[in-house]
Structure 1
Amino acid sequence: MTDFVGRRRELKELREDIARTGLDTLSGRKDMAPRARVLLIAGRPGSGRTALAEEFVREVADEYPDGVLRAGLSTPGGTAVSTERTLRDLLEGLGRPTPPGAGADELGEVLNEALTGRRAIVLLDDALDALQVDPLLPDVRECLVVVTSEGPLTGIPDVRPCTLGGLDTPAAVELLTQRIGDIRVTVDPRAAEALAEACGGQPAALAVVGGWLAAHPKATVADLAKQLHDTPAAAGGGPLGRAFRFVYGSLPQPAQRTLRLLPLAPAGIIDPQTASALAGCSVAAAQSTLEDFAGLGLLRPAADGLYLLPGCLTPFLQALLESKERAAEVQLARARTLERTVRLLHSCRAVAEDDEDDLVGEMREVSPAVPRALRFPDARAAARWLDSRLPALDAAARLAVADGELDTLARRLISALVRALAVHRGTDAAAPELYGLHRLVLDVAERRGLHREKAAALLNLADLDAETGRTAQALERYRAALDAGREAKDPYATGRAMESVGGAHQELGDWHRAADWFGRALTQALARGERADEARLYGRLGNVHTLSGRYGEALRSWRAAAAGYRKLADVPGQAKALSEMARVQEYAGRPEESLHTCREAVDLARRAGDLRLQAALQVRLADTLDRLGDPAAARLHRTAADRLLGEDPSAYEIRSGSGQDI
C-alpha cells in the first residue's frame, strides 16, 4: 500500500477548523441543540478526497479515543444508500443491535444514545447532498463528523468545505515514484513532471498511469507522457478519462470485456467468483485478471480476497458497457452471476447444518459433482464468506428485484440468503437483514400476483413487527396476509393468519376479538382434522378466556386442550394444559379441584421427564396447600421443587397469582 503524499495545507486547515468558533456561536445562536462538529472535504471523484479524509482521521484519532465509524453514502454507480442502511452500518460498528424494521428516526435516536458521552469520529464517504447527511449527524458535541462530497452541503449550518484540486507537482511526482520506483523518474525528471501535469495532479489518474508503467517496465515515462497526450479525451472525462482510455485500450480483448462488465457487480464489490460468472471464464482466470486490474489501479484490493470498484471509474465503464455490450449479453451476465450466487449460498448453508439434517446428507452424497470452487472447507470459512459478502449479497437481491426481468432468480436468491443467514446467525441475530429480504419478496409477489408468496412474506414481516413491539403494524399485516391466503386458497396461510390476528388482539388487550379470531382458526383446524393445531388453539382460547375472567369457558378450553394432547400422545403438552386448568380452578375459587388437577399434572410431568415443569407444579401445589391451611405439606412440596432445580426462583415457569401472570 502506498503512503499518503501532499495535502499538508489541507490537513492543517482541517485541524484548525475543528477548533474554529462556529458560525452559530458568532451569530449569537447559543441556544441551539448541541451537535457534532462537521468537516467537509469537497472534490471531484478521483481527486483523493477519501484518501485525505482517511489520513486526517488517522492523524486526529488519538483525540477521539472511542474509535472511528465509517459508512459509504453512495454506491460506485452513484446511487444513494438509504439512511436506514447507513444508520444500521454505523450502529453495527458500535456493536449495537438494531431492531428489525426500525425506521430512520428510531435508528437515529439509538445512534445518539450510543454515542452520548463518547468522543468518536464518524466518517461519511461519498455524500450526494445535505439531505442525505443531515439525519446522520449525532447530537453529541464531543463527536466529529468528516464528510466527503463533490459539492457543498447546502442546508447544514456551520460547514465550510475544504475544496480539493490536483496535487502540486512535487507531490504528484512522489505519488508516481511510489508506483514505479525512483529509477525511471530520476532518469527523466522533466518527463515525470510532464506526466503529472498531463494527469492534472489527480491521484486517481496518477494511480492508473503509474500502474500501467509498473506493468510495462521497459516503457519510459516520456513515451507514456507522449502517448497520453495523443490519446483523445473522453467526453467530460478530463485527465482521468484520458488516462483510463489509454490504459483500457492497452488491455487484451478478454480483459477489456471483463473490465467493462464489472459495473454489474452488486455494490461494486468483486471477487473471483463474481468476475468469473460475469465474464463466463474460469475462477482461476478471473483471479489473475482481477490481480492485474488491481496492479493497474483499476480496482482497489480489500480484505478477504475482495476488490472494490472505484466510483471515479464507474461512469467510464458504464459508458463502455452500454456502447459495446448487447442488452441480451448484459442480462445473461446478470443471470449467470445470480445463479452462481445462489449455488454458493446453498453450499454455505449446507456446510453449517447438522449431520442429521436431510439436506446435508443429500449435499454430501452429491458433493463430488459440486465444483471445487463452490465448496467451503468448513462452517467457519462459510460464515466468514457470508459476513464479508453480505453487503454485496443484499445489493444483489435488491438489484435483481428492481430489474423485474429476473424475478425467478431473485426469489431463489432471497430464499437461499434467508436460509443461510438463519443457519449461520440464527433468526434472532439475523432479524434486521431478514426483515429487508422479506420486504423484497413482498415486492416481487405483489408485482407478479403471487398470492401464496405474498401471504408468507406478510406473515414473516408481521412476526418481526410483533417481536419488536409494533403490534398495530403487525395486526395490519396479519390481516393483509389473511386476504392473500384466501386469494391463494392456502389453508395453512389462512389458519396461521387468523391465529396471528388473534394473538395481536391479545397483545393489545382486546380479549373479545382475540377469542373470536382464535375461534375462527380453531373452526378451520377442526374442519381439516389438524389435531396438533386444535390442541394448541384450545390452549390459546383458554388463555385469553382466563385473562378476561371467563373462568368457565377457560376451563372448557383447557380441558379440550388436554384431551387433544392426550390423543396425540404428547405427555408434556397434556401436563402443561392440566397445569393451566389448575391455575384457572384456583382463580375460580375451587382450591380442592385445583389441588387434584395439579397432582395429576405432576404425575404427567414426571412421566415426561420435564424437571422444570415438575418444579413449577410443586410450587403451585405448595401455594394451594397454604391456602387450604396445610403449611407442613406445602413445605414438603417446596423442598421437592428446590431439590429438582435448586433454589433459583427464576427457574419456575408457572406462578400463582393474578390472571396477568399467565
Structure 2
Amino acid sequence: MAARELPETAAYFVGRERELAQLRADIVRPGLAVAGGKQPDRGRVLLVVGRPGTGRTELAVKLAREVAAAYPDGQYFLRLTDTDGAPVPAEDTARALLRALAARRPAAGRPAVPGQAAPGRAGTASGPEPAADPVAVLRSATTGRRLLLVLDDVARADQLSGLLPESPGSLVVATADGPLSGIPDVRPCTLGGLDTPAALALLAHTIGDTRVTNDPRAAETLVQELTGHPTALRLAAAWLAAQPRMPLSEAAVQLRATPDTPLVPAAPAPPASAPATGDAADGGAAPEQPAAVRRPAAPAELLRAFRAAYGTLPPAVARLLRSLVLAPAGSIDAHVASALAGCAVDAADRALAGLADSALLVRGAADGLYRVPGCLEPLLRALLAGTDRPQDITLARARMLERTVRLLESCRVALAREGGTDALPGTVRFASPAAAADWLLARRPALMAAARAAVADGELDTLARRLIAALVRALLALPAGGPGPGATGRPGRPGAGAGLRRPLARADRYELHTLALTVAERRHLPREKAAALINLADLDAEAGRTDHAVTAYRKALEAARAADDTGAEGRVLEAIGGCYLELGDLSRAGDWFGRALALRQGRGELVDQARLHARIGAVLTYLGSHTQALREWRAAAGTHRRLGDLASQARALVEAARVQEYAGLPEDALRTCRDALYYARQVGERRLEAAVLLRLADALQHLGDTGGADLQRAASRRLLRAGELPAF
C-alpha cells in the first residue's frame, strides 16, 4: 500500500452541513484528558461512520481539505482495507506512512523525520531493519508534528490505535462501517441518507431541474425509494439521464420492482450438521481460525440502483467493468482497461468515459485516472468470480502485466534518451522524457501494487519477474538529483543506484528486489536468488547501513556459491571488502579484495583485476606497507597496458609514484612520474596531463628542485581552461 496526498473532493457535494459542523466542533472540543486535568498526548481522532456508499469518504476528505492548512507537516490519505476486502495490518500502514514522511521535505525550522537525515536506518524508506517495529518508529517520527491523516475504511480498532500520531497538534479522520471500540475519546459522526432537499438537488444536478420540477412528487417518491442513499441516487440519476423520455414515476416503479439481492448469489454456508474436519473430526477441538472481518452486505437501495445501471450496459462494456476490479491499486486508465478487456486503447477510453457518466466509475480531476467506487467493488468482484471463467481472468491479468512491462520499457528508453522510440507502437510511446517521468511517478503506487499482486498470485511468475526488472530499470533511469551515497563504484555496478536519490525510489527498489527473491526461491532459481540478495545488500550499503550490508552480502555469497555463479561471487567478495573499507577495517578490506582478485584472475577478467589491484594498493598504502602497495599499483598499471587503456595506466603510475615518495624514494618517484607523463600525452587528455604534471612538480619539490617544480606547475596551469580542474 502507499500513502498519497488528499484526493479531490467530489465533483458535486451537497448536504451534510450538520455533520460537517459536528466534526469541526469536535476538532477543538476539549478531550477527556483535558477534562481530567491532563495534557493530551496524541492527536484528535474523528470517526465518520456509515454504510457503504453513504459518502463517508467524501465527507472525510472535504473536512480534511477545509482544515489542511492547519497541519503543515503533511496531509495523507490511506485506505485500510485492500481491494479484496481484507484489513491492512497496522505494520503495513506504518511503513507506508514512514515512506511518505521520508520523501517529504521538512517544513522550515523542523527536524527531518527518520529516513531523511539518515536514510536507510531502521524503518526508513530504504527498507526496514529486521528487528525494527514500524509502528514504534512511526510514533517516534510523528512526535511533535502537526499531521493530518485520513484513514479510510477502517475495519478494526487495532488497525488504528497504533497509528495515532504522538502529537496533540495532529488530526486523524477515520471512516468505518460502525463504531470502533478501543479508541478512547471518539464520538462517531453517523451518516444516514441525505435529507430530501439535498437528495433532490443531487438528482437534479444530473438529470436537470426541469424533470424534477415537472413532477416533484414522483421525484420525492424516487428519492424516498432509495432512502436518500447518495451513491444509489447517483447511479439512478445517471440511469435516468441516459433515458430522457422515462418518467420519474415509472423509474420509481421499476426500482421498487428490482430485486435487492446481488446479481451473483454468494456461496452457501456449510450446513450446521456438516462433519468437522481435521482434529475436530477426531473428537478434538477445531483449530482456532484468525478473526475475520465480514463486511456488511450492500444496502438494498444500492443493490437495486446498481442492478438498474448495470443491466443497461452492452455485454462488452459490462465485461470490461467487471474486469476493472483487477486493476492494481484500483488505478485505471485506457491502457489498463484495454489490456484487461482485450480491446483497442481508444475503444477502452470511450468505454471508461461512458462508465464514468453512468456513475459506475469515478474519474480523478488531478490525475485523470478512473477508480471503481469502493462500495461497488465487492459487487463487481462477486460478478467477476461468478460470471467469468478463471482461465479468462488469468488471461486478462497476463495481458495487463504484459502491457505494463511494455510501457515501463518505453518509459525507460524515453528517460535514458537512448533513441529508437520511433520503433515503438504509438500507443506506448512517450512524447518526451518529462512525460515519461510524470507517468512513472503518477503510476508508481499502481505499478508497485501490480508487482506485489503478480508475485502473491504465483501463477504468472515469468511475467512477474519481467515486471520487476522493468520497474527497477525505469526507476533507476529517472533524472538524478546529484551524487549521493553509494555512487562510489560498487563492484560490477559503477555508480549503482545513481539514477535516483529519492528515498521513496530506494524503498521501492528494496521491496522489488525482495519480491524478486520470493519468486526466485519459489521457482528454485539459484542464480536469480543470488542476484536478488546482492541487490538488497547493495541497497543497504547505499543507504549507509554498512554493518547490516556485510551480513546481507555474506548471505548473497552463500547463494552465489550454491548457484556456482563465480561472476556474482567475485562481485560479492569485492563488495564485502568495500564495506570493511568504509568501516575502517583496512586489514579485512585488503583480505576480501585479495580473495576477489584471485577469483577474477582465475576467470581471466582483466578489467576487474586492474580495479582490484588498485583497491588493494590503496589499502596497503594506508597501512604503510609501501613495498607491497607499490607492487599492486605496478600490477594495476601493467594490466591497464595489456588492455590498451593508457589513461588508466598513467593514473596507476602516478599512484605508484606517490607510494615511492612515501617510501623515501624520490628519484624513483620522479622516473615513474615521467613514465606517467609519456602515456598521458599519448592519450591527449589535457586535464589528465595537467594532473600528472602536478604530481611531477611534487616529486621535484621533494628533491629540492624548486625551480623545476614551479615550471611544471605553470605548464599544468596552461593546459587548463578557466575554472577547470585536473582530471585525477
Range class of TM-score, shorter chain = 0.7 to 0.9
Hey, what does 1:498 align to over in structure 2?
573
Matches of residues 9-408 of structure 1 in structure 2 within 5 Å? 9-30=18-39, 35-64=42-71, 68-79=75-86, 80=88, 82-92=93-103, 94=105, 99=120, 100-103=125-128, 121-133=148-160, 136-152=163-179, 154-234=181-261, 236-238=297-299, 239-302=301-364, 303-355=366-418, 360-361=419-420, 364=422, 367=423, 371-408=425-462
CA distance in 2: counterparts of 1:209 and 1:125, whole angstroms: 25
CA distance in 1: counterparts of 2:667 and 2:164, whole angstroms: 64
Q: Which amino acid aligns with 1:272?
A: A
CA distance in 2: counterparts of 1:501 and 1:290, whole angstroms: 52
- Give the CA deviation at 1:294: 0.5
Query: Which shifted more, 171-180 or 311-320?
Result: 171-180
CA distance in 2: counterparts of 1:121 and 1:418, whole angstroms: 31
Residues 615 and 644 in structure 1, CA contact (< 8 A), matched pair in contact too: yes
Hey, what does 2:524 align to over in structure 1?
449
Unaligned runs of 5+ in 2: 1-9, 107-111, 263-296, 481-496
- The verdict on how the C-alpha distance between 1:152 and 1:646 changes in structure 2, with shifts beyond 3 A counting, is farther
CA distance in 2: counterparts of 1:159 and 1:549, whole angstroms: 68
Residues 298 and 375 in structure 2, CA contact (< 8 A), matched pair in contact too: no
Task: Output one character per residue of 1:333-373: Cα deviation in whole Å (capped at 9) or x when no partner.
Answer: 11111122222223333344445xxxx54x64xx3xx5442
Residues 451 and 488 in structure 1, CA contact (< 8 A), matched pair in contact too: yes
Residues 657 and 672 in structure 2, CA contact (< 8 A), matched pair in contact too: yes
Residues 2 and 178 in structure 1, CA contact (< 8 A), matched pair in contact too: no
Matches of residues 576-615 of structure 1 in structure 2 within 5 Å? 576-610=651-685, 613-614=688-689
TM-score (normalizing by structure 2): 0.80
Q: Which amino acid aligns with 1:289?
A: A
Unaligned runs of 5+ in 1: 655-662
- The verdict on how the C-alpha distance between 1:486 and 1:187 changes in structure 2, with shifts beyond 3 A counting, is same
Task: Output one character per residue of 1:513-555: Cα deviation in whole Å (capped at 9) or x when no partner.
Answer: 3222222221121122111111111112112223333332222
CA distance in 2: counterparts of 1:473 and 1:466, whole angstroms: 8
Helix, strand or coil for the counterpart of 1:185?
Answer: helix
Hey, what does 1:467 align to over in structure 2?
542
Helix, strand or coil for the counterpart of 2:54?
Answer: coil
Q: Which amino acid aligns with 2:235?
A: V
Q: Which amino acid aligns with 1:102?
A: G
Q: Which amino acid aligns with 1:386?
A: L
- The verdict on how the C-alpha distance between 1:523 and 1:583 changes in structure 2, with shifts beyond 3 A counting, is same
- The verdict on how the C-alpha distance between 1:136 and 1:609 changes in structure 2, with shifts beyond 3 A counting, is farther
Residues 48 and 204 in structure 1, CA contact (< 8 A), matched pair in contact too: yes
CA distance in 2: counterparts of 1:607 and 1:76, whole angstroms: 65
CA distance in 1: counterparts of 2:80 and 2:709, whole angstroms: 65
Q: Which amino acid aligns with 2:441?
A: D
Hey, what does 1:489 align to over in structure 2?
564
- The verdict on how the C-alpha distance between 1:214 and 1:523 changes in structure 2, with shifts beyond 3 A counting, is same
Helix, strand or coil for the counterpart of 2:431?
Answer: coil
Hey, what does 1:658 align to over in structure 2?
none
CA distance in 1: counterparts of 2:402 and 2:479, whole angstroms: 23
Task: Output one character per residue of 1:11-45: Cα deviation in whole Å (capped at 9) or x when no partner.
Answer: 11222222222322333443x75x44333333333
- The verdict on how the C-alpha distance between 1:202 and 1:495 changes in structure 2, with shifts beyond 3 A counting, is same
Task: Output one character per residue of 1:137-191: Cα deviation in whole Å (capped at 9) or x when no partner.
Answer: 4445444333333344555554433332222222222222222211122122233
Helix, strand or coil for the counterpart of 2:656?
Answer: helix
Residues 112 and 140 in structure 1, CA contact (< 8 A), matched pair in contact too: no
Helix, strand or coil for the counterpart of 2:19?
Answer: helix
Helix, strand or coil for the counterpart of 2:302?
Answer: helix
Query: Which shifted more, 190-199 or 76-85?
Result: 76-85
- The verdict on how the C-alpha distance between 1:249 and 1:551 changes in structure 2, with shifts beyond 3 A counting, is same
CA distance in 2: counterparts of 1:50 and 1:139, whole angstroms: 24
- The verdict on how the C-alpha distance between 1:642 and 1:9 changes in structure 2, with shifts beyond 3 A counting, is farther
Query: Which shifted more, 612-621 or 510-519?
Result: 612-621
CA distance in 2: counterparts of 1:574 and 1:108, whole angstroms: 53
Residues 42 and 161 in structure 1, CA contact (< 8 A), matched pair in contact too: yes
- Give the CA deviation at 1:564: 0.8
CA distance in 2: counterparts of 1:5 and 1:529, whole angstroms: 75
Instruction: Indicate the structure whose relative CO is greater, using CA pairs within 8 Å and at least 6 residues apart.
Output: 2
- The verdict on how the C-alpha distance between 1:513 and 1:131 changes in structure 2, with shifts beyond 3 A counting, is farther
Report sequence identity in percent.
Answer: 52
Hey, what does 2:639 align to over in structure 1?
564
CA distance in 1: counterparts of 2:696 and 2:50, whole angstroms: 76
- Give the CA deviation at 1:408: 0.7
CA distance in 1: counterparts of 2:69 and 2:648, whole angstroms: 59
- The verdict on how the C-alpha distance between 1:284 and 1:542 changes in structure 2, with shifts beyond 3 A counting, is same
Hey, what does 1:521 align to over in structure 2?
596
Helix, strand or coil for the counterpart of 2:172?
Answer: strand
